Amino acid sequence: MEKTLPPIPVKRYFTIGEVGELCGVKPHVLRYWEQEFTQLRPMKRRGNRRYYQHHEVLMIRRIRDLLYDQGFTISGARNKLQELVQGERDRRKAGEVPLEGMEAIEIDQEEFDAAIVQDTQEPAHAGAEKGAQAPDLSQLLHLRRELFEIRELLTVGR
């Protein structure tokens, strides 16, 4: 019964019909799962229309896998999903920051600084547009500092 699911498009919100197609389940099944899995809470707008976000589509796919492919009961899938959520919380408390399918990239700050200095000192490419200027070193360093601060906030906040 292994069915390849289509890739999830880059969108902010999905209707219940779109989610049904992306996850291989009918809309009435999604409405039922909302009652059984408390983690599944789509946003509701006018007329009680449901709008799902990307993380909810991933959760629905996980639920579908547990129920249809791995043979869990609703109760078993609920417990397994809770274990997975708890494991995620534990990893966050331990300082790990999941990047959903991407490896964390460790950056040597000295190498990064040297690369910025080198890039800003090299002449512009011959084919570059007229009037296009490379940002100066102070702008790049300021941006780098802001990005590191954001990364720290994300790491501490989890």
Residue 24 structure tokens: 């291989």
Same domain, 88 and 117: no
pTM for the predicted model, two decimal places: 0.58
The total of structural domains in the chain comes to: 2
CATH code, 83: 1.10.1660.10
Domain that holds residue 133: 109-157
Q: Give SS3 for 130.
A: coil
Structure tokens at 49: 């229309």
Return d(Cα 66, Cα 81) in angstroms, integer.
Answer: 9
List the pLDDT tens digit at each of the 158 positions of the chain: 456 899 999 889 999 999 999 999 999 999 999 999 988 999 999 888 999 999 999 999 999 999 999 999 999 999 998 898 888 888 878 876 555 444 444 445 555 555 555 554 555 444 445 455 566 677 777 777 777 777 777 765 44
Q: Is residue 101 part of a domain?
A: no
d(CA 76, CA 72) in angstroms, rounded, equals 5
Instruction: Spell out the alpha helix ranges (H) of the chain.
Output: 16-23, 27-36, 54-64, 74-93, 109-121, 137-157
Buried b (16+ CB within 10 A) or exposed e, 61-91: bbbbebbeeeebeeeebbeebeeeeeeeeee
| 1 found inside a domain | no
Given 63, 93, 123, the domain boundary residue is 93
Whether residue 89 sits in one domain with residue 41:
yes
Q: Are residues 87 and 19 in the same domain?
A: yes
If asked whether residues 83 and 120 sit together in one domain, one would say: no
